[in-house]
Amino acid sequence: MRYVFAMVMTLGMGLATLQPAMADDCDADQASMNACAGRDLANADADLNRQYQAQMAYLTTPARKQALKNAQIKWIAFRDADCLYQVGKPEDSGSIWPLLHAQCMAALTLQRVEQLKAYVACRQEGCPD
């Protein structure tokens, strides 16, 4: 399970390194658009990890921590499968695929960030503990 999470982290960091040195112009060409989308995904992934760690730190029992970990692993699998469904296979899309795929992954990641932020913000009766 740690392998899956580590693999996703590595992918996110790897996409961030694809950005050109001067990535301010994200519309210059397909490569710059792909790099900027990769950077956006890496930023969303970093925010996701911060929120996940904040909630993990709050949880009080090993069982609740494991439940969140299991949910996160399944969510990552869902996100990856859903984006593959939405965008299709790389060989079917050409040079725009990295852009579309990174945009999809970032959008779903940001949705999950908002879910985790809600957990982190909720520190009262009825909240996940």
The CA distance from 36 to 68, in Å, is 30
Determine contact, residues 39/107, Cβ cutoff 8 Å: no
Say what the pTM is.
0.76
Sequence-separated (6 or more) residues with CB below 8 Å from residue 117:
51
Confidence class for position 1, pLDDT limits 50, 70, 90:
very low
What size, in residues, is the chain?
Answer: 129
Domains of the chain: 2-121 (1.20.1270)
What does the pLDDT look like over 59-91, one tens digit per residue?
999 999 999 999 999 999 999 999 999 999 999
Say if residue 54's pLDDT is above 90: yes
> How does DSSP classify residue 60?
-
